[in-house]
Amino acid sequence: MSKSTDLIHAANRVPASAKPLTLPIVETTTYVFDSAADVVAYNEGRSEKFLYTRYGNPTVAAVEESLAQLDGAERALLFSSGMAATATTLIGLLEAGDEVICASAIYGGTLHLLQDLLVRFGIRTRWASAADLTSLGDVIGERTRVVWFESPTNPTLRCVDIRRVAEACRARGVVSVLDNTFASPLNQQPLALGVDLAMQSATKYLNGHSDVTAGVVAGPAALIAKVEKARRLLGTILDPAPAYLLGRGLKTLAVRVARQNATAQALAEAMSRDARVSQVYYPGLASHPEHAIAQAQMSGFGGMVCIDLGGDFDRAVRAFDRLKVITRAASLGGVESIVSLPVLTSQWGYTDDQLRAAGVTKGMLRLSIGLEEVDDLLADLNQALG
């Protein structure tokens, strides 16, 4: 062959003897088949080969397998973001005329997806209070197909009796989906508590280094197949390179979460004794309204802490602007401690009624605890509070 032809094909010859220690990044758009019969076998579901990276990729599939094991699920799917996971799951499970019951205390992106976008396609949403979630049997209607909720909630860290919600959904043939982002599977196992699908923004604790945007949904194979069909059509699968970084982040998840749990507990206890703070929200505090529920369904209470400065937005802004070690940023779950004002980030665009329904005030600071020394974080909060 000519040199130009050889150059194109020689670079694709991987030595059969290579056995890498870490997961390879298979950065290809398409895959080679040996015959037409192989393509037919793939199309009929009789082959484990890959066709096209929008459908699946070996690097992505390897990380999905790890995530499925982590959640105790039959299968898991990776997406290009947490919102991609949420949107694709809902589109895969719903059709025009269907109803979603969604908790009022929910991430703002989920609220706007349901309220502003999916409603245009004939999908109706009913918002459920904490009281509604405790008596779902009376709330679920004839057209209800999905119940979507969080526990702990963003940003107030209120806890829902997950098993009770799951049982009510199962009794009525409704799919329950829990956004488990705040807890992570190391602190809480939704599927073991009876939930049908566990969703997370893998951007947060799973990756843990603030350098990957991704989402994941895990659950039984039959339900995941519906979501996977929607993912193929929408093209919301995660790229192999960030999938590799996510897989690398998972290797330190256990040690990171253990440290974040311990630091968050110490910080929450200290803030609860500070007269400048009117309210501290953390499931590990005995004063937390659902502390007993959290103890029953969580093995650790997480790295998120929310403090309220009397509902006073100006006070919250002053403290926010003074922080020096804790970084002002959105998102959460990384090795760096960060702070956000929920009314300017996760709950931006909420009406006053929606804020009240979610239990959010304008004086709240949401803290994502990283891996710094607890004394450094406490000193920073002390000087910021003035």
The average pLDDT across 292-317 equals: 98
| Across 107-111, 232-236, 240-244, least confident range | 107-111
pLDDT at 15: 74
pLDDT of 265 > 90? The answer is yes
Instruction: Give the pair of three-digit tokens for residue 14.
Output: 């991987």
- Give phi and psi for 145, each to the nearest 5: -120, -25
pLDDT at 190: 98
pLDDT digits (tens, 9 = 90+) for 135-190: 999 999 999 999 999 999 999 999 999 999 999 999 999 999 999 999 999 999 99
DSSP E strands, 28-152: 75-79, 99-103, 124-128, 144-150
Does the annotation count 179 as an active-site position?
yes
Q: Which domains are seen in the chain, by residue range? A: 36-250 (3.40.640.10), 253-385 (3.90.1150.10)
The average pLDDT across 194-203 equals: 98
pLDDT at 346: 87
pLDDT of 198 > 80? The answer is yes
- Among 204, 231, 256, 366, the active-site one is 204
Q: What is the 3-state secondary structure (H, E, C) of 94-127?
A: CCCCCEEEEECCCCHHHHHHHHHHHHHHCCEEEE
- Among 75, 107, 161, 205, the active-site one is 107
* 131 vs 324: CA distance, rounded Å: 39
pLDDT of 98 > 70? The answer is yes
pLDDT of 18 > 90? The answer is no
Does the annotation count 71 as an active-site position?
no
pLDDT digits (tens, 9 = 90+) for 21-44: 999 999 999 999 999 999 999 999
pLDDT at 251: 97
Does the annotation count 55 as an active-site position?
no
Percent of the chain with pLDDT over 90: 93
Does the annotation count 107 as an active-site position?
yes
Tell me the pLDDT of the chain averaged across its residues.
Answer: 96
- Among 179, 196, 308, 380, the active-site one is 179
The average pLDDT across 113-117 equals: 97
Q: Name the pLDDT band for 11 (thresholds 50, 70, 90).
A: low
- Among 42, 49, 54, 124, the active-site one is 54
